[in-house]
Structures are given as structure tokens and as C-alpha cells.
Amino acid sequence: MVERLSPLEPVYRSGSHGRFEDGVGVILSETRPGSIVQVASWPGEEARAIAAIRKVTGLGLPDGAGGGVVDGEKAAFGFAPGKFTVVDETEGVAAALAKAITPTIGTVTDLSHGRTAIRIEGPEAEWVLAKFFAIDFALTAFPVGAARSTTHHDVFAQIQRTGGDRFDIYVFRSFARSFWKALGHAAEEVGFEVA
């Protein structure tokens, strides 16, 4: 398979940035999952789509938008009624899902080349993200595994909490560079490290 080049390459500068004299508030990085796949089930077929996702990935995905699950570098979440995003470190998940989800159940779209995955983690991650999105990022309102679909200045973003103070954000590849720069600017006052 052709190696994907990162759209962040020109602006991805490892090291500490901003006001980090008192420590680093967040760590920013690009994750490079092998597969980012969207599954859309037909009305009434959600349970069969979820069962197919579970069969292919081993992830016990809860039903409903906003619900999700994380297991290491595998994740799945609902982002709208009957619509799910599946992320896996391995390639070929889209093909496996396409075999398991027949046209009577729904559709499968491989988004691996069209999305960029950005991770923000650290004690100030919730605070930095709250500058961008009108979402309650508190752990009680946004538990581990849960996901939200939203926008920031017309940049569509899917956000999943993948750890206590860690979030993975999926943005269109064409907007990744400008979003990355904005995220860096928002994190300057708490100090950030690019890993």
C-alpha cells in the first residue's frame, strides 16, 4: 500500500513550545492509524451494524450516538444515529467491514486517506479544547470512550476521549494543518510539547 504523507509535515515541530517554564500542560501529536472507517447503517439495521463492527474489531460498541469504546489503539464510536467511526492501528479494516456489512445493512467508507488524527493529552487538555468547542469536557459529562461530532470555524471534527486526560480528534486532511496551528496557539499559555 502507498504510504500516506502527513499534511502536518511542514508545521510539525517536535519539542516544547509556549510557556512551559512551569511544566507542560498538554502534549500534541499526530497518530497514524492504519484504518479510519465510517459505517452508516440503514434505519432499523443499527444492531446488525454494531454486531458486524464487534465481529471484525472485537470492540463491544454501545448503541447510540456519542457512545464509544477504546481498547489500546483500537476505537469505535457513534457520531450520529446509525453512524459509526471505527479506528484501528492495522490496515484492511474497511475491507473486512465491507464483507461483514452487506448492502442490506448499510454502507462502509474508508476515510483513512481523507482524515488526520490528532491527539491532545495532559492535565490541561480539557481546558485547551474548551477554547475551541462549546462542549462540556469534564470526565463526568464526557467519559472515556465517548465521542462528540462538532465544528470549529467550519472545520468538522470528531472527538473521542481515549483516556482520562487524552482526546483523539479526527479532522479532514485538507484542514489538518490550519487546525494544528490553531491548537498550538491555544495551548501556548499552558505550555505544550509536540511528541
Q: What's 127's domain CATH number?
A: 3.30.1360.120
84, 110, 136 - which closes a domain? 110
Residues 101 and 120 reside in one and the same domain? no
Whether residues 118 and 176 share a domain: the answer is yes
Same domain, 26 and 41: no
Question: Which pLDDT score is estimated for 1?
Answer: 53
- Host H or E run for residue 186: helix 176-187
- Dump strand ranges (E) for the chain: 15-17, 26-31, 35-41, 68-71, 74-80, 83-88, 106-110, 115-121, 147-152, 155-163, 166-172, 192-194
Q: Domain end: 95, 110, 125, which one?
A: 110
Do residues 39 and 92 share a domain? yes
Range of the domain at 65: 35-110
Residue 8 belongs to a domain: no
Asked if residue 159 and residue 88 are part of one domain, the reply reads no
Residues 101 and 128 placed together within one structural domain of the fold: no
- Domain assignment of residue 9, yes or no: no
**Is residue 172 exposed (0-12), middle (13-18) or buried (19+ Cβ within 10 Å)?**
middle
Q: Which residues pair with 22 in a beta bridge?
A: none
Gyration radius from the chain CA atoms: 17
20 and 53 together in one domain: no
Residue 7 in any domain: the answer is: no
CATH number at residue 58: 3.30.70.1520
Query: In terms of domains, do 81 and 138 share one?
Result: no
Intervals of the chain under pLDDT 70: 1-3, 65
Identify whether residues 40 and 96 lie together within a single domain.
yes
Starting from the edge strand earliest in sequence, which strands make up the sheet with 155-163, in order? 15-17, 192-194, 26-31, 115-121, 166-172, 155-163, 147-152
pLDDT for residue 151:
86
* Sheet of 74-80, strands arranged across: 68-71, 74-80, 83-88, 35-41, 106-110
**Res 2: pLDDT:** 60
Q: Residue 168: inside a domain, yes or no?
A: yes
Domain count, the chain: 2
Specify whether the CB–CB gap between 194 and 12 falls below 8 A. yes
